[in-house]
């Protein structure tokens, strides 16, 4: 893909958008803390490690092959 053919665009997040992202992350973190109230600290640490691994795998997949149609990826 190239910039010349119009299939690529550069987007910027506005300050309002950044605030919205921060608010959403805060809400999600609060909900996750609520969900984890019933588990031990060891179990919570295991969940956190699992989420970190999942996030890393997702970032790697999307970054390394952004234009590829993966069999299980819905667009």
In the prediction, which pLDDT does 31 show? Answer: 94
Whole-angstrom distance, CA of residue 67 vs CA of residue 69: 7
Is 0.85 topped by the overall pTM? no
Query: C-alpha angle 5/10/12, rounded to 5°?
Result: 160
Q: What is the CA radius of gyration of the chain?
A: 18
The position carrying tokens 């149609």 is 69
Token pair listed for 45: 């640490």
Ranges of H-type helices in the chain: 15-35, 41-64
Q: pLDDT tens across 7-52, in order?
A: 778 889 999 999 999 999 999 999 989 999 999 999 999 999 999 9
């Amino acid at each position: 893909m190239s910039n010349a053919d119009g299939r690529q665009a550069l987007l910027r997040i506005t300050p309002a958008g950044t605030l919205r992202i921060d608010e959403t992350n805060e809400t999600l973190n609060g909900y996750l803390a609520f969900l984890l109230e019933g588990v031990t600290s060891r179990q919570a640490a295991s969940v956190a490690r699992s989420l970190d691994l999942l996030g890393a795998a997702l970032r790697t997949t999307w970054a390394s092959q952004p234009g590829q149609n993966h069999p299980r990826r819905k667009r």
